[in-house]
Amino acid sequence: MTAAPASADAIRLDSLRKQFGSTTVLHDIHLRAARGRFVVLLGPSGCGKSTLLRVIAGLERADGGRVVLDGRDVAELPPAARGLSMVFQSYALFPHLDVAENIVFGLRARRVAAAEREARLARAASLLGLEKLLKRRPSQLSGGQQQRVALARAIVAEAPICLMDEPLSNLDAKLRGEMRREIRALQQRLGLTMVYVTHDQAEAMSMADQVVLMRDGHIEQDATPAEIYARPASAFVASFIGTPPMSLLPLVAHAGGAGIAGLPDHLLAPASAAGALLGIRPEEVVPAEDGLPACVTAAEFLGAETVLACALGSGGALLQARIPGHHALPPGSPVRLRLPPLAHLFDANSGKRLPLPPFA
Protein backbone atom coordinates (compact mmCIF):
# COMPACT_ATOMS: atom_id res chain seq x y z
CA MET A 1 0.00 0.00 0.00
CA THR A 2 1.32 3.45 -0.84
CA ALA A 3 1.59 6.03 1.87
CA ALA A 4 -1.61 7.98 2.18
CA PRO A 5 -1.33 11.70 1.49
CA ALA A 6 -0.68 13.69 4.61
CA SER A 7 -4.03 14.87 5.86
CA ALA A 8 -5.03 16.97 8.80
CA ASP A 9 -7.33 14.26 10.10
CA ALA A 10 -6.04 12.27 13.02
CA ILE A 11 -9.02 9.95 12.81
CA ARG A 12 -11.17 9.13 9.82
CA LEU A 13 -13.89 6.48 9.84
CA ASP A 14 -15.43 5.49 6.52
CA SER A 15 -18.75 3.61 6.46
CA LEU A 16 -17.75 1.62 9.50
CA ARG A 17 -19.99 -1.29 10.37
CA LYS A 18 -19.99 -3.67 13.29
CA GLN A 19 -22.31 -6.48 14.17
CA PHE A 20 -22.48 -8.98 17.00
CA GLY A 21 -24.10 -12.09 15.58
CA SER A 22 -27.15 -10.91 13.71
CA THR A 23 -27.55 -7.58 15.54
CA THR A 24 -25.89 -4.62 13.88
CA VAL A 25 -24.46 -2.35 16.54
CA LEU A 26 -22.82 0.23 14.28
CA HIS A 27 -24.35 1.19 10.93
CA ASP A 28 -22.35 3.06 8.37
CA ILE A 29 -20.40 5.38 10.66
CA HIS A 30 -18.59 8.31 8.99
CA LEU A 31 -16.47 10.50 11.17
CA ARG A 32 -13.53 12.85 10.81
CA ALA A 33 -11.58 14.31 13.66
CA ALA A 34 -8.82 16.84 13.07
CA ARG A 35 -5.54 16.59 14.95
CA GLY A 36 -5.65 18.01 18.45
CA ARG A 37 -9.43 17.96 18.61
CA PHE A 38 -11.43 16.93 21.63
CA VAL A 39 -14.19 14.75 20.22
CA VAL A 40 -16.97 13.57 22.51
CA LEU A 41 -19.09 10.57 21.62
CA LEU A 42 -22.42 11.17 23.26
CA GLY A 43 -25.56 9.09 23.35
CA PRO A 44 -27.91 7.06 25.47
CA SER A 45 -26.89 3.75 26.99
CA GLY A 46 -26.53 0.96 24.45
CA CYS A 47 -26.18 3.19 21.39
CA GLY A 48 -22.76 1.80 20.51
CA LYS A 49 -20.33 4.37 21.90
CA SER A 50 -18.08 1.86 23.61
CA THR A 51 -18.21 -0.42 20.62
CA LEU A 52 -17.12 2.40 18.32
CA LEU A 53 -14.25 3.24 20.63
CA ARG A 54 -13.18 -0.39 20.80
CA VAL A 55 -13.27 -0.70 17.02
CA ILE A 56 -11.01 2.35 16.73
CA ALA A 57 -8.68 0.84 19.34
CA GLY A 58 -8.62 -2.49 17.52
CA LEU A 59 -10.08 -4.43 20.44
CA GLU A 60 -13.00 -5.34 18.17
CA ARG A 61 -12.81 -6.03 14.45
CA ALA A 62 -14.97 -3.93 12.16
CA ASP A 63 -17.26 -5.89 9.85
CA GLY A 64 -17.02 -3.28 7.14
CA GLY A 65 -15.56 0.11 6.37
CA ARG A 66 -12.21 1.62 7.23
CA VAL A 67 -10.48 3.09 10.23
CA VAL A 68 -7.80 5.55 9.16
CA LEU A 69 -5.53 6.95 11.85
CA ASP A 70 -3.07 9.67 10.87
CA GLY A 71 -3.51 8.73 7.24
CA ARG A 72 -2.86 4.99 7.79
CA ASP A 73 -5.51 2.34 7.29
CA VAL A 74 -5.11 0.37 10.52
CA ALA A 75 -7.35 -2.59 9.69
CA GLU A 76 -4.47 -5.05 9.94
CA LEU A 77 -2.67 -3.44 12.86
CA PRO A 78 -2.97 -4.83 16.39
CA PRO A 79 -4.11 -2.39 19.09
CA ALA A 80 -0.58 -1.73 20.29
CA ALA A 81 0.62 -0.62 16.85
CA ARG A 82 -2.11 1.94 16.23
CA GLY A 83 -0.47 4.80 18.05
CA LEU A 84 -3.17 5.28 20.62
CA SER A 85 -3.73 4.93 24.32
CA MET A 86 -6.94 4.22 26.15
CA VAL A 87 -8.51 4.87 29.53
CA PHE A 88 -11.11 2.31 30.48
CA GLN A 89 -14.30 3.01 32.36
CA SER A 90 -13.15 0.74 35.19
CA TYR A 91 -9.60 2.19 34.87
CA ALA A 92 -8.25 -1.36 34.38
CA LEU A 93 -5.32 -0.77 36.73
CA PHE A 94 -3.21 -3.85 37.40
CA PRO A 95 -3.97 -4.80 41.02
CA HIS A 96 -0.67 -6.64 41.56
CA LEU A 97 1.50 -3.68 40.57
CA ASP A 98 2.13 -0.44 42.41
CA VAL A 99 1.30 2.92 40.86
CA ALA A 100 4.74 3.43 39.33
CA GLU A 101 4.74 -0.02 37.74
CA ASN A 102 1.21 0.50 36.48
CA ILE A 103 2.24 3.70 34.76
CA VAL A 104 5.35 2.23 33.11
CA PHE A 105 3.73 -1.12 32.29
CA GLY A 106 3.54 -0.30 28.60
CA LEU A 107 7.06 1.11 28.49
CA ARG A 108 8.39 -2.14 29.96
CA ALA A 109 6.37 -4.18 27.49
CA ARG A 110 7.82 -2.09 24.69
CA ARG A 111 11.32 -2.35 26.16
CA VAL A 112 11.94 1.35 26.56
CA ALA A 113 15.36 1.92 28.14
CA ALA A 114 15.37 2.30 31.93
CA ALA A 115 16.63 5.89 32.02
CA GLU A 116 14.03 7.06 29.52
CA ARG A 117 11.37 5.12 31.42
CA GLU A 118 12.22 6.83 34.68
CA ALA A 119 12.23 10.24 33.04
CA ARG A 120 8.83 9.70 31.47
CA LEU A 121 7.42 8.31 34.70
CA ALA A 122 8.62 11.35 36.62
CA ARG A 123 7.10 13.68 34.04
CA ALA A 124 3.73 11.93 34.00
CA ALA A 125 3.62 11.66 37.79
CA SER A 126 4.33 15.34 38.30
CA LEU A 127 1.83 16.33 35.61
CA LEU A 128 -0.91 14.49 37.48
CA GLY A 129 0.28 15.08 41.03
CA LEU A 130 1.03 11.43 41.74
CA GLU A 131 4.58 11.76 43.12
CA LYS A 132 3.58 10.79 46.65
CA LEU A 133 1.52 7.80 45.60
CA LEU A 134 3.99 5.93 43.39
CA LYS A 135 4.58 3.10 45.86
CA ARG A 136 0.91 2.40 46.60
CA ARG A 137 -1.22 -0.37 45.19
CA PRO A 138 -4.36 0.60 43.23
CA SER A 139 -6.53 -0.80 46.03
CA GLN A 140 -5.04 1.79 48.37
CA LEU A 141 -6.16 4.74 46.22
CA SER A 142 -9.35 6.76 46.09
CA GLY A 143 -11.47 6.78 42.93
CA GLY A 144 -10.05 10.11 41.81
CA GLN A 145 -6.49 8.96 42.38
CA GLN A 146 -7.09 5.75 40.44
CA GLN A 147 -8.49 7.85 37.65
CA ARG A 148 -5.32 9.92 37.63
CA VAL A 149 -3.15 6.82 37.51
CA ALA A 150 -5.13 5.57 34.52
CA LEU A 151 -4.61 8.95 32.86
CA ALA A 152 -0.91 8.86 33.63
CA ARG A 153 -0.62 5.40 32.11
CA ALA A 154 -2.34 6.70 28.99
CA ILE A 155 -0.18 9.80 28.54
CA VAL A 156 3.14 8.18 29.39
CA ALA A 157 2.82 6.23 26.14
CA GLU A 158 2.99 9.58 24.32
CA ALA A 159 0.59 8.29 21.70
CA PRO A 160 -0.96 11.02 19.57
CA ILE A 161 -4.50 9.69 20.04
CA CYS A 162 -6.15 9.04 23.37
CA LEU A 163 -9.44 7.19 23.82
CA MET A 164 -11.48 7.43 27.00
CA ASP A 165 -14.57 5.43 27.85
CA GLU A 166 -16.70 7.20 30.45
CA PRO A 167 -13.69 7.82 32.66
CA LEU A 168 -15.56 9.98 35.17
CA SER A 169 -18.69 7.96 35.69
CA ASN A 170 -17.51 6.49 39.00
CA LEU A 171 -16.68 9.82 40.59
CA ASP A 172 -18.82 12.16 42.66
CA ALA A 173 -20.09 15.40 41.14
CA LYS A 174 -17.44 17.69 42.61
CA LEU A 175 -14.50 15.51 41.66
CA ARG A 176 -16.00 15.03 38.22
CA GLY A 177 -16.00 18.78 37.64
CA GLU A 178 -12.37 18.99 38.71
CA MET A 179 -11.26 16.07 36.57
CA ARG A 180 -13.10 17.46 33.54
CA ARG A 181 -11.01 20.61 33.70
CA GLU A 182 -7.82 18.63 34.31
CA ILE A 183 -8.41 16.32 31.39
CA ARG A 184 -9.27 19.19 29.09
CA ALA A 185 -6.19 21.14 30.16
CA LEU A 186 -3.96 18.10 29.76
CA GLN A 187 -5.33 17.34 26.31
CA GLN A 188 -4.64 20.88 25.18
CA ARG A 189 -1.19 21.03 26.72
CA LEU A 190 -0.12 17.77 25.07
CA GLY A 191 -1.96 18.43 21.81
CA LEU A 192 -3.68 15.05 21.99
CA THR A 193 -6.49 14.03 19.71
CA MET A 194 -9.05 12.84 22.19
CA VAL A 195 -12.08 10.64 21.68
CA TYR A 196 -14.09 10.75 24.84
CA VAL A 197 -17.21 8.70 25.50
CA THR A 198 -19.92 9.89 27.83
CA HIS A 199 -23.66 9.82 28.21
CA ASP A 200 -23.67 13.03 30.21
CA GLN A 201 -24.56 15.86 27.84
CA ALA A 202 -23.35 18.54 30.23
CA GLU A 203 -19.92 16.88 30.25
CA ALA A 204 -19.98 16.71 26.47
CA MET A 205 -20.96 20.33 25.98
CA SER A 206 -18.39 21.65 28.43
CA MET A 207 -15.38 19.70 27.17
CA ALA A 208 -15.78 19.08 23.47
CA ASP A 209 -14.55 20.77 20.34
CA GLN A 210 -16.77 18.39 18.45
CA VAL A 211 -19.78 16.49 19.74
CA VAL A 212 -20.82 13.29 17.99
CA LEU A 213 -24.28 12.36 19.12
CA MET A 214 -25.18 8.74 18.50
CA ARG A 215 -28.39 6.78 18.61
CA ASP A 216 -28.90 3.08 17.92
CA GLY A 217 -25.60 2.75 16.12
CA HIS A 218 -26.07 5.82 13.91
CA ILE A 219 -24.56 9.23 14.16
CA GLU A 220 -27.44 11.67 14.64
CA GLN A 221 -25.33 14.79 14.52
CA ASP A 222 -21.66 15.68 14.40
CA ALA A 223 -21.06 19.34 15.19
CA THR A 224 -19.57 21.83 17.62
CA PRO A 225 -21.32 22.20 20.98
CA ALA A 226 -22.62 25.63 19.98
CA GLU A 227 -24.00 24.34 16.69
CA ILE A 228 -25.59 21.28 18.25
CA TYR A 229 -27.28 23.51 20.80
CA ALA A 230 -28.38 26.16 18.34
CA ARG A 231 -29.42 23.91 15.47
CA PRO A 232 -30.17 20.35 16.58
CA ALA A 233 -30.39 18.17 13.49
CA SER A 234 -33.27 16.06 14.72
CA ALA A 235 -35.95 15.84 17.35
CA PHE A 236 -33.81 13.21 19.11
CA VAL A 237 -30.83 15.57 19.39
CA ALA A 238 -33.17 18.33 20.52
CA SER A 239 -34.56 16.19 23.28
CA PHE A 240 -31.07 15.07 24.38
CA ILE A 241 -29.23 18.38 24.66
CA GLY A 242 -29.92 21.02 27.28
CA THR A 243 -30.92 21.01 30.97
CA PRO A 244 -33.75 20.39 30.70
CA PRO A 245 -33.79 19.57 26.99
CA MET A 246 -35.96 21.21 24.37
CA SER A 247 -39.72 20.70 24.63
CA LEU A 248 -41.35 19.31 21.51
CA LEU A 249 -44.88 20.53 20.86
CA PRO A 250 -47.04 19.01 18.12
CA LEU A 251 -48.54 21.72 15.88
CA VAL A 252 -52.04 21.49 14.44
CA ALA A 253 -53.75 23.64 11.84
CA HIS A 254 -55.83 26.56 13.03
CA ALA A 255 -57.57 29.31 11.08
CA GLY A 256 -54.74 31.42 9.65
CA GLY A 257 -51.78 29.33 10.79
CA ALA A 258 -50.63 26.51 13.09
CA GLY A 259 -50.62 26.25 16.87
CA ILE A 260 -51.18 23.99 19.84
CA ALA A 261 -54.30 21.85 19.84
CA GLY A 262 -57.00 23.57 21.92
CA LEU A 263 -55.42 27.05 21.70
CA PRO A 264 -56.70 28.43 18.39
CA ASP A 265 -56.16 32.04 19.46
CA HIS A 266 -52.41 31.68 19.74
CA LEU A 267 -50.80 31.04 16.38
CA LEU A 268 -47.17 29.94 16.61
CA ALA A 269 -46.23 29.16 13.00
CA PRO A 270 -47.47 29.52 9.44
CA ALA A 271 -50.11 27.07 8.27
CA SER A 272 -47.56 24.98 6.38
CA ALA A 273 -45.98 23.93 9.70
CA ALA A 274 -49.07 22.08 10.84
CA GLY A 275 -48.27 18.47 11.60
CA ALA A 276 -44.64 19.21 12.54
CA LEU A 277 -43.06 19.37 15.99
CA LEU A 278 -42.18 22.77 17.39
CA GLY A 279 -39.00 22.84 19.48
CA ILE A 280 -38.86 25.29 22.40
CA ARG A 281 -35.82 25.81 24.66
CA PRO A 282 -37.07 25.96 28.27
CA GLU A 283 -34.69 28.80 29.05
CA GLU A 284 -36.32 30.96 26.36
CA VAL A 285 -39.82 30.71 27.81
CA VAL A 286 -40.84 33.70 29.95
CA PRO A 287 -43.91 34.29 32.09
CA ALA A 288 -46.04 37.10 30.62
CA GLU A 289 -49.56 38.46 31.04
CA ASP A 290 -50.30 38.05 27.33
CA GLY A 291 -48.74 34.55 27.08
CA LEU A 292 -50.27 31.15 26.42
CA PRO A 293 -52.45 29.79 29.19
CA ALA A 294 -50.86 26.71 30.75
CA CYS A 295 -51.34 24.53 33.77
CA VAL A 296 -48.41 23.62 36.04
CA THR A 297 -47.95 19.86 36.51
CA ALA A 298 -44.66 19.94 38.42
CA ALA A 299 -42.18 22.50 39.72
CA GLU A 300 -38.54 21.63 40.30
CA PHE A 301 -36.41 24.11 42.22
CA LEU A 302 -32.76 24.17 41.09
CA GLY A 303 -31.42 27.02 43.20
CA ALA A 304 -31.13 30.01 40.91
CA GLU A 305 -33.99 28.80 38.77
CA THR A 306 -37.19 26.83 38.82
CA VAL A 307 -38.12 24.37 36.09
CA LEU A 308 -41.84 24.30 35.52
CA ALA A 309 -43.46 21.45 33.65
CA CYS A 310 -46.72 22.68 32.17
CA ALA A 311 -49.56 21.18 30.17
CA LEU A 312 -50.59 23.27 27.20
CA GLY A 313 -53.96 23.25 25.42
CA SER A 314 -56.09 20.16 24.99
CA GLY A 315 -53.70 17.84 23.15
CA GLY A 316 -51.59 16.96 26.19
CA ALA A 317 -48.60 18.99 24.89
CA LEU A 318 -45.94 19.30 27.59
CA LEU A 319 -43.81 22.43 27.82
CA GLN A 320 -40.93 22.97 30.19
CA ALA A 321 -39.95 26.43 31.28
CA ARG A 322 -36.80 27.45 33.15
CA ILE A 323 -37.59 30.59 35.06
CA PRO A 324 -35.23 32.60 37.28
CA GLY A 325 -36.06 32.63 40.97
CA HIS A 326 -38.00 30.37 43.27
CA HIS A 327 -41.59 29.69 42.25
CA ALA A 328 -43.32 27.23 44.56
CA LEU A 329 -46.35 26.66 42.35
CA PRO A 330 -48.53 23.70 43.34
CA PRO A 331 -49.64 21.36 40.56
CA GLY A 332 -52.76 22.71 38.87
CA SER A 333 -51.79 26.38 39.14
CA PRO A 334 -52.56 28.39 36.02
CA VAL A 335 -49.68 30.32 34.45
CA ARG A 336 -49.24 32.34 31.30
CA LEU A 337 -46.09 31.78 29.31
CA ARG A 338 -44.70 33.57 26.30
CA LEU A 339 -42.84 31.42 23.79
CA PRO A 340 -39.79 32.59 21.83
CA PRO A 341 -40.08 33.25 18.08
CA LEU A 342 -40.26 30.20 15.87
CA ALA A 343 -36.74 28.67 15.63
CA HIS A 344 -36.88 24.85 15.53
CA LEU A 345 -39.24 22.66 13.55
CA PHE A 346 -38.95 18.88 13.23
CA ASP A 347 -40.76 16.38 11.06
CA ALA A 348 -43.16 14.46 13.28
CA ASN A 349 -42.40 11.13 11.62
CA SER A 350 -38.73 11.12 10.68
CA GLY A 351 -37.68 13.55 13.43
CA LYS A 352 -35.53 15.44 10.90
CA ARG A 353 -35.07 19.17 11.27
CA LEU A 354 -37.27 21.13 8.86
CA PRO A 355 -36.40 24.44 7.23
CA LEU A 356 -38.38 27.29 8.72
CA PRO A 357 -41.34 28.17 6.52
CA PRO A 358 -41.59 31.78 5.33
CA PHE A 359 -44.45 33.69 6.91
CA ALA A 360 -47.19 33.99 4.35
Partner 1 sequence: MRTSFASRLGLTLETAAAWLLALLWAAPVLYAVWAAFHPTGYATRFELTAPLTLQNFVSAWDAAPFGRYFLNTVLLVCFVTGGQFVLCTLAAFVFARSRSRWMSALFAIVLVQLMVMPDMLIVENYRTMRALGLVDTVFGIGLPYLASAFGIFLLRQTFLQIPAELEEAARLEGCGPWAILWRLYVPLAKPTYLAYGLTSVAYHWNNFLWPLVVTNSVNTRPLTVGLAVFASTDQGIDWAIISAATLLTAAPLLLGFLLFQRQFVQSFMRAGIK
Ligand X SMILES: Nc1ncnc2c1ncn2[C@@H]1O[C@H](COP(=O)(O)OP(=O)(O)OP(=O)(O)O)[C@@H](O)[C@H]1O
Find the shortest distance in angstroms from Cβ 232 to ligand X. Answer: 20
Q: Which is nearer to ligand X, 43 or 282 (CB)?
A: 43
Binding-site member from 44, 46, 66, 94 for partner 1 (CB under 8 A): 94
Q: Judged by CB under 5 A, does residue 187 bind Mg ion?
A: no
Give me the numbers of helices (H) and strands (E) for the chain, helices first please: 8, 21
* Omega before 287 within 30 of 0, i.e. cis: no
Q: Of 190-209, which residues contact ligand X (CB under 6 A)?
A: 199
Q: Which is nearer to Mg ion, 50 or 85 (CB)?
A: 50
**Which residue stretch of 16-24, 47-55, 74-82, 305-313 sits at the interface with Mg ion (rule: CB under 5 A)?**
47-55
User: What Cα–Cα distance (Å) separates residue 39 from each residue in 206, 303, 306?
Assistant: 12, 31, 32
Contact 164, 197 (CB under 8 A): yes
Contact 69, 31 (CB under 8 A): no
CA distance linking residue 6 with residue 203, whole number of Å: 32
CA distance linking residue 216 with residue 205, whole number of Å: 21
Q: Judged by CB under 6 A, does residue 50 bind ligand X?
A: yes
Binding-site member from 25, 50, 220, 296 for Mg ion (CB under 5 A): 50
Find the shortest distance in angstroms from Cβ 154 to partner 1. Answer: 9
Find the shortest distance in angstroms from Cβ 139 to partner 1. Answer: 13
Q: Judged by CB under 8 A, does residue 124 bind partner 1?
A: no
Cβ-based neighbour number of residue 303 at 10 Å: 6
Residues 257-296 as x/- pattern, contact with ligand X by CB under 6 A: ----------------------------------------
Binding-site member from 37, 49, 215, 281 for ligand X (CB under 6 A): 49
CA distance linking residue 297 with residue 295, whole number of Å: 6
β-strands 64-69, 72-73 pairing: antiparallel
CA distance linking residue 185 with residue 56, whole number of Å: 24
Residue ranges in contact with partner 1 by CB under 8 A: 57, 59, 78-80, 84-86, 88, 90, 92, 94-96, 105-106, 109-110, 153, 157
Residue ranges in contact with ligand X by CB under 6 A: 20, 25, 43, 45-51, 199
